């Protein structure tokens, strides 16, 4: 890329944006950067009074966001990113720091304080470069900087203020406005980088990347040099801290030391606005036990180290010899991995392929352990050995031992002196009675999706679902399949949907400010789990669950939802019957499964009952705009349902054709994303 050679240098690296901000995602994606989005879980609650200047607060928050993701990924995602980018945008006026308003009154307070005045918008950015070493340690290199842009607001009348607040736009934006949309009408002038106001100082970021990569790539062995330097505390700071020749004139903001609100920053060097420096290295070590991440030394203790160790050992063997592969006809193919290639395969490539090849074995091991209720048992009786587990689950000792050991290697169990316990992950997600249990969904995957995917080759060849091969009756619709079967099968299917709604419900329900809506209707809302989350998140809201009569009849099996008197059930078919009246309609995991024809029938019916201003909340997995991910959405498409997976923009266009204007999109980092639209 001639425009910015640094962006192309990142190709092939695992770049992670530690942000849920759709604006940051768009800014970076627009310049061709390929990255994954892993929103940070860092709570933005640093004590502002500890900071000498507002931008220091933004930089520190950006740093904590990025580090949280850099530390979490090796444990939760089982991969170490190359680069994690965190950012935080704040607005400052009259010595106050304004972040995102918590409600409309807060938005009013913020916007009226900006009226007729010039204010500053600061975005702090942290780039964490992770260097993974042979011995499994990870060195972190931290580059942080900020950008200031001055913005002047026109005088705002009360009417203007409230009209703007009621548009819903201020709620997820620092200072309560979005300069890139309706908020642009409030602005008289902007001095500085416009994109910095929108949430990401792209120009400054590219300059910082040039510094990192122009330095690093001058070395013949980029990683080892970096690691060596950082371990000796002589990280490329000396190079990186040279003044940047092309940085904007905001250097007049002068240098500032990073205060130490948390122990994580205790060993940091000083950073200047225009002369960013890398912090001394923070050595990260994975150990073989399950415990907390230590903030002060950033020592990462990886509960999955046994898994990693085992896998690496296996792959190293195969690097030196041959990879045994099984052909589709079952023959063993001896494949020399180096035979057809000029260079040795990279360790990370082998690791990735190994993971993919073994993926189905891991899924089935999980399904089997869940089906045998191993996680329930070990929750009730931790510390059993394989023979005791075998006796309880009525299985062979040999088979149970293999399964338990496999589960340990997958991070689902821990073992000590040949006795077994659940990991935290198993306790919170795999026990059948856990609050956020995925047990029902796992059972559904095993019962329905597993057999379906065993016919994938035919599905791809023929271009339609192979469901008729795996269910005795013909209907293709998953829900109808379940309803042609026994009551038990219906309940199992509802339980699967219930699990997903419980796990994803809060993220979806809290994604937007919906305080203006008093009545909602969750179309196809199944057991009411999602509806329940909406009533919890919005105390003034009642939600009707509209679903097929057979679903409504069985929904009472899912207690304690029925004790929630703001959730009610209405039986009907949304293709045939009149829809209940509501201010807000919720469509969670419905559209991706419908044919274009059915989808337009449903959306037309919703549009007909919606008055202008009514809301539509859509929740699905949103594909990346270039359809390169996430895998979860693309793999789901392989089941060849009648519908299709779409990106947020594709859904927006679809909804616009029925008169719904997209107000906000949220990539939640949970099982489902969300989009909020308003009827024009």
Ligand X SMILES: Cc1cn([C@H]2C[C@H](O)[C@@H](COP(=O)(O)OP(=O)(O)OP(=O)(O)O)O2)c(=O)[nH]c1=O
Range in contact with ligand X (rule: CB under 6 A) among 193-201, 214-222, 298-306, 598-606? 193-201
Range in contact with ligand X (rule: CB under 6 A) among 169-177, 281-289, 564-572, 650-658? 169-177
308 binds ligand X (CB under 6 A): no
| Least distance in angstroms from the C-beta of 23 to ligand X | 4
Torsion angle defined by CA atoms of residues 353, 357, 358 and 362, in that order, rounded to the nearest 10 degrees: 100
Q: Which of 6, 70, 111, 179 binds ligand X (CB under 6 A)?
A: 179
Helices 347-371 & 305-320 angle (0-180, nearest 10): 130
Residue 529 Rama label (left phi>0; alpha psi -120 to 50; beta): alpha
Range in contact with ligand X (rule: CB under 6 A) among 172-180, 211-219, 405-413, 531-539? 172-180
- In the bound state with ligand X, the residue whose beta carbon lies nearer, of 23 and 379, is 23
Q: Which of 4, 15, 16, 23 binds ligand X (CB under 6 A)?
A: 23
Range in contact with ligand X (rule: CB under 6 A) among 16-24, 261-269, 488-496, 594-602? 16-24
Q: Which residues pair with 142 in a beta bridge?
A: 128
| Least distance in angstroms from the C-beta of 64 to ligand X | 10
| Per-position b or e across 110-145, b if 16+ CB within 10 A of its CB | bbebbbeeebbbbbbbbbbbbbbbeebbbbbbbbbb
Closest CA to 60 of 87, 33, 84, 38: 87
| Least distance in angstroms from the C-beta of 86 to ligand X | 7
Q: Which residues pair with 421 in a beta bridge?
A: 414
Q: Is 141 helix (H, G, I), strand (E, B) or coil?
A: strand
Q: Contacts with ligand X: how many residues (CB under 6 A)? A: 26
- In the bound state with ligand X, the residue whose beta carbon lies nearer, of 181 and 634, is 181
- The contact mask relative to ligand X for 128-167 (x = CB under 6 A, - = no) is ----------------------------------------
199 binds ligand X (CB under 6 A): yes
- In the bound state with ligand X, the residue whose beta carbon lies nearer, of 592 and 666, is 666
| Least distance in angstroms from the C-beta of 168 to ligand X | 13
Going by the DSSP 8-state scheme, the letter that residue 527 receives in this structure is T
180 binds ligand X (CB under 6 A): yes
| Least distance in angstroms from the C-beta of 102 to ligand X | 13
305 binds ligand X (CB under 6 A): no
Q: Which of 74, 175, 192, 633 binds ligand X (CB under 6 A)?
A: 175
Sheet containing strand 567-571, strands side by side: 567-571, 542-547, 519-523, 584-588, 615-620, 673-679, 660-666
Q: Which of 4, 15, 16, 19 binds ligand X (CB under 6 A)?
A: 19
DSSP string, 257-270: ----SSGGGTT---
- The contact mask relative to ligand X for 72-91 (x = CB under 6 A, - = no) is ---------------xxx-x
Determine contact, residues 522/586, Cβ cutoff 8 Å: yes
| Least distance in angstroms from the C-beta of 633 to ligand X | 20
Q: How many helices (H) and strands (E) does the chain have?
A: 26, 22
- In the bound state with ligand X, the residue whose beta carbon lies nearer, of 179 and 240, is 179
Rounded to a whole number of angstroms, the CA Rg of the chain reads 27
- In the bound state with ligand X, the residue whose beta carbon lies nearer, of 172 and 673, is 172
> Could you give the CA distance from residue 607 to residue 590 in angstroms, rounded to a whole number?
16
Other C-beta atoms within 10 Å of 474: how many?
Answer: 10
Please state the φ and ψ torsions of residue 667, each to the nearest 5 degrees.
-90, 110
- In the bound state with ligand X, the residue whose beta carbon lies nearer, of 43 and 361, is 43
Range in contact with ligand X (rule: CB under 6 A) among 196-204, 293-301, 306-314, 505-513? 196-204
Determine contact, residues 640/466, Cβ cutoff 8 Å: yes
173 binds ligand X (CB under 6 A): yes
Q: Which of 164, 177, 453, 585 binds ligand X (CB under 6 A)?
A: 177
Range in contact with ligand X (rule: CB under 6 A) among 75-83, 170-178, 290-298, 368-376? 170-178
Distances (CA, A) of 417 to 385, 386, 414, 420: 9, 11, 10, 8
Torsion angle defined by CA atoms of residues 515, 521, 527 and 530, in that order, rounded to the nearest 10 degrees: -30
- In the bound state with ligand X, the residue whose beta carbon lies nearer, of 19 and 244, is 19
Q: Which of 14, 16, 20, 429 binds ligand X (CB under 6 A)?
A: 20
- In the bound state with ligand X, the residue whose beta carbon lies nearer, of 198 and 672, is 198
Q: Which of 54, 183, 259, 276 binds ligand X (CB under 6 A)?
A: 183
Kind of pairing, strands 15-17 and 83-93?
A: parallel
Kind of pairing, strands 255-256 and 187-191?
A: unpaired
512 binds ligand X (CB under 6 A): no
667 binds ligand X (CB under 6 A): no
| Least distance in angstroms from the C-beta of 212 to ligand X | 21
> Could you give the CA distance from residue 540 to residue 103 in angstroms, rounded to a whole number?
14
Positions 95 through 134 that interact with ligand X (CB under 6 A): 100, 121
> Could you give the CA distance from residue 630 to residue 622 in angstroms, rounded to a whole number?
8
> Could you give the CA distance from residue 479 to residue 547 in angstroms, rounded to a whole number?
11
Q: Is 46 helix (H, G, I), strand (E, B) or coil?
A: coil
245 burial (CB, 10 Å; 0-12 / 13-18 / 19+) is exposed
Q: Select which of 88, 193, 376, 547 is catalytic.
A: 88
> Could you give the CA distance from residue 559 to residue 564 in angstroms, rounded to a whole number?
10
Please state the φ and ψ torsions of residue 428, each to the nearest 5 degrees.
-85, -30
| Least distance in angstroms from the C-beta of 211 to ligand X | 23
* Catalytic annotation present for 88: yes
- In the bound state with ligand X, the residue whose beta carbon lies nearer, of 21 and 230, is 21
Closest CA to 523 of 569, 586, 566: 586
513 binds ligand X (CB under 6 A): no
Q: Which of 59, 127, 174, 195 binds ligand X (CB under 6 A)?
A: 174
Range in contact with ligand X (rule: CB under 6 A) among 132-140, 191-199, 601-609, 670-678? 191-199
| Least distance in angstroms from the C-beta of 121 to ligand X | 5
Q: Which of 6, 7, 16, 21 binds ligand X (CB under 6 A)?
A: 21
| Least distance in angstroms from the C-beta of 471 to ligand X | 42
198 binds ligand X (CB under 6 A): yes
Q: Which residues pair with 125 in a beta bridge?
A: 87, 145
> Could you give the CA distance from residue 70 to residue 130 in angstroms, rounded to a whole number?
8
Q: Which of 129, 197, 404, 496 binds ligand X (CB under 6 A)?
A: 197
315, two tokens = 């792959």
**Opening angle at CA 260, ends 259 and 261, nearest 5:** 110
| Least distance in angstroms from the C-beta of 561 to ligand X | 31
Positions 32 through 71 that interact with ligand X (CB under 6 A): 39-40, 44, 65
Distances (CA, A) of 658 to 275, 521, 621, 674: 51, 18, 21, 18
178 binds ligand X (CB under 6 A): yes
Positions 379 through 408 that interact with ligand X (CB under 6 A): none
Q: How many residues does this entry show for the chain?
A: 680
Q: What residues act catalytically?
A: 88
Report the interface residues with ligand X, using CB under 6 A: 19-21, 23, 39-40, 44, 65, 87-89, 91, 100, 121, 172-175, 177-180, 183, 197-199
């Amino acid at each position: 890329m001639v425009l910015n050679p640094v962006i192309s240098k990142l190709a092939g690296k695992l770049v992670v944006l530690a942000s849920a901000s759709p604006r940051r995602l768009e800014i970076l994606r627009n310049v061709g950067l390929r990255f994954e989005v892993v929103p940070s879980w860092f709570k933005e609650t640093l004590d502002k009074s500890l900071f000498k200047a507002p931008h220091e607060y933004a930089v520190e928050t950006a740093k904590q966001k990025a580090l949280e993701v850099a530390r979490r990924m090796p444990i939760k995602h089982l991969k170490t990113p190359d680069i994690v980018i965190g950012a935080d945008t704040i607005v400052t006026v009259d010595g106050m720091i304004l972040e995102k308003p918590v409600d409309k009154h807060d938005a009013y307070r913020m916007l009226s304080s900006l009226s007729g005045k010039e204010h500053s918008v600061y975005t702090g950015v942290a780039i964490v470069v992770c260097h993974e070493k042979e011995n499994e340690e990870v060195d972190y290199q931290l580059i942080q900087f900020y950008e200031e842009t001055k913005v002047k607001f026109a005088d705002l009348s009360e009417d203007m203020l409230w009209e703007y607040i009621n548009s819903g736009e201020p709620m997820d934006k620092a200072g309560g406005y979005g300069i890139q949309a309706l908020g642009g009408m409030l602005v008289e002038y902007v001095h500085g980088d416009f994109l910095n106001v929108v949430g990401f100082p792209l120009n400054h970021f590219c300059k910082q990347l040039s510094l990192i990569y122009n330095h690093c790539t001058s070395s013949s062995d980029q990683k080892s040099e970096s690691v060596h330097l950082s371990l000796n505390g002589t990280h490329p700071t000396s190079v990186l801290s040279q003044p940047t020749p092309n940085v904007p004139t905001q250097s007049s903001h002068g240098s500032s030391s990073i205060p130490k609100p948390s122990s994580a920053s205790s060993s940091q060097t000083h950073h200047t606005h225009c002369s960013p420096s890398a912090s001394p290295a923070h050595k990260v070590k994975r150990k073989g036990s399950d415990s907390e991440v230590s903030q002060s030394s950033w020592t990462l203790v990886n509960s999955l180290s046994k898994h990693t160790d085992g896998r690496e050992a296996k792959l190293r063997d195969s690097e030196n010899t041959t990879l045994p592969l099984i052909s589709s006809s079952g023959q063993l193919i001896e494949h020399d991995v180096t035979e057809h290639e000029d260079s040795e395969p990279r360790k990370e490539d082998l690791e990735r392929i190994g993971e993919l090849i073994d993926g189905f074995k891991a899924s089935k091991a999980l399904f089997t352990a869940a089906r045998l209720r191993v996680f329930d048992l070990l929750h009730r009786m931790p510390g059993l050995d394989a023979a005791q587990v075998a006796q309880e689950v009525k299985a062979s000792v040999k088979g149970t031992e293999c399964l338990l050991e496999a589960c340990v290697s997958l991070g689902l169990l821990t073992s000590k002196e040949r006795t077994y316990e659940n990991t935290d992950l198993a306790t919170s997600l795999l026990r059948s009675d856990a609050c956020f249990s995925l047990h029902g969904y796992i059972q559904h995957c095993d019962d329905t999706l597993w057999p379906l995917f065993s016919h994938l080759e035919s599905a791809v060849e023929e271009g339609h679902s192979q469901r008729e091969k795996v269910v005795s009756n013909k209907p293709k619709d998953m829900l109808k399949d379940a309803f042609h079967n026994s009551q038990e099968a219906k309940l199992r299917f509802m339980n699967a949907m219930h699990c997903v709604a419980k796990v994803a419900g809060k993220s979806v329900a809290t994604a937007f400010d919906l305080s203006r809506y008093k009545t909602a209707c969750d179309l196809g809302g199944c057991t009411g789990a999602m509806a329940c989350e909406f009533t919890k998140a919005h105390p003034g809201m009642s939600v009707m669950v509209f679903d097929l009569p057979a679903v409504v009849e069985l929904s009472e099996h899912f207690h304690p939802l029925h004790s929630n008197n703001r959730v009610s059930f209405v039986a009907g078919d949304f293709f045939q019957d009149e829809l209940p009246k509501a201010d807000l309609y919720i469509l969670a995991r419905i559209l991706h499964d419908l044919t274009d024809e059915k989808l337009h029938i449903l959306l037309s019916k919703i549009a007909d009952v919606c008055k202008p201003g009514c809301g539509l909340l859509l929740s699905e997995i949103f594909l990346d705009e270039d359809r390169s991910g996430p895998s979860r959405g693309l793999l789901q498409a392989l089941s060849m349902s009648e519908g299709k997976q779409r990106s947020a923009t594709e859904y927006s266009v679809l909804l616009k054709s029925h008169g719904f204007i997209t107000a906000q999109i949220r990539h939640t980092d949970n099982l489902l994303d969300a989009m909020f639209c308003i009827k024009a």
